[in-house]
Each structure stands twice: as C-alpha cells, then as structure tokens.
A = this chain, B = another copy of it.
Amino acid sequence: MPESHRRTRSKGYGAISATRESRPAGERTKVVSRTGPHRSESVRLAVLNAADDLLVERGFAALTIEGIAQRAGVAKQTIYRWWKSKVDILLDTLTDDARDALQWHPAEGDSAEEALSAHLRRVSDFFEEPAGRVLQALLGHAQLDEDTAKSLRAGFLKDQRALDTAGLREVLAREDVTVDDSGLDLLVDMMLGPLYYRALLFGSPIDKGLVDTTARVTLALARELSAARS
C-alpha cells in the first residue's frame, strides 16, 4: 500500500473548515444537540488520500467511487453520506492541498519584478505537482459540467482570486505602485492568463522566458495604470 504523497493533510485544518464543501455553514444551525456517533475523521482522510492517489496514478477517467471506497477501505455508502460525487471529493482535497502551494510569500529583499517572477515560477511548477493535477482535473471537469464549474468558482477559484489580487497589490506597493481594484483585476488576468493557457492547452512545461516576460509586462502595465491614476 503506497504511502500517500501528501503529508500535510492532517496538519493545519480542523474538521470544520476542512469540510466546508460537504457541510455547508448554514447547516450548522441544525447541529444543535447531537447524540450518537460522530463523523470519523480517519474515514475522511482515507477517502481524500485514496482519491487523489488514484487520480494521480490512474487519471480522472479511471477514478471511480467504488475504486476510492476500496482503496480507502471504506463502504461506498459512507462516501455518499458525505460527498455527492467524486468531483465533490476532489474539491475537498483541493481545499486542503492547493491553497498552500498557491500562496504568495514574496521574499523580503526582492524587487517587485523578482517577486512576481518568483511567484509565477511557483505557479508554473504547481501544475506538475499532485495538487496541481487535482486542480487541472477539476478545471477540466468544470468545462463539462456546469455544477462543477459553479462549485469551483464559488469556492476555490474565488478564494484564490482574492489571494492573487491581494498578493499582487502588496508586491506592487513595494515600489509605490498603486492600482485600483478594476486595474488589479485586469493585471491578474494578464499575469496568470498566459501561464494557465500554456498549461491547460498545451500541457508543456512552462519555459522561463514566458514567466519572466509575463512578470515584466505585468509590472509595466501596472506602472502605467498607477501613473494614470495620479
């Protein structure tokens, strides 16, 4: 039995935040006084790990609820009790795993352009990692299924967008470049678009030239927008 490639699952999340997707916040009111057994955390982890192990090993098409159940040593019904579909499971793993990898942590001494380049490099690399595969699969499935698209946009993508906007703003502020919200929106699209485009359409590893150029062009545009403001 292969050790899961993920090590950090059990670290850094409580049951509540981590199960956001399967136990929406609004439902919490219902859970006033509960007697009887509680949801097993070990089951939850086994399922999440089984799911993205299988995704990485065999691909999305070969990912089945029955396969996940078997690999996790769990009954099918237990999966259906907490998740609506295999996509719902993957959305859960995403919350745990992808968030860290796509975080902005610009190095202290870097210039704005260096910081941007470094971040974009990390985004590029992300697509090669297991968590990146999960995001890729979900983005793919979102093209095929409107519900998936909705969930993904309302959850992960919205949050990530906020992080990216904030991160970019902060980096620009280092060089006193300030851009309003609509400008930042534009900049984020200009900055991330080319990377996702290459990754999703051509699947090729993203070359350093594209990353650096993107960073440089984004910064140039930001300066232009900043100047126009004053």
Contacts and interface: CB of A to CB of B under 8 A. Distances in A.
Nearest to A190: B194
Size band of the interface chain A makes with B: 35 or more
19 contacts: A59-B144, A61-B144, A140-B142, A140-B144, A141-B144, A153-B201, A157-B202, A186-B210, A189-B197, A189-B198, A190-B217, A193-B194, A193-B195, A193-B197, A193-B198, A196-B201, A200-B200, A213-B221, A217-B217
For this chain, the copies found in one complex come to: 4
Contacts of A61: 144-145
A227 to B, nearest CB: 15
A69 interface: no
Interface in A68-86: none
A88 to B, nearest CB: 15
Nearest to A152: B201
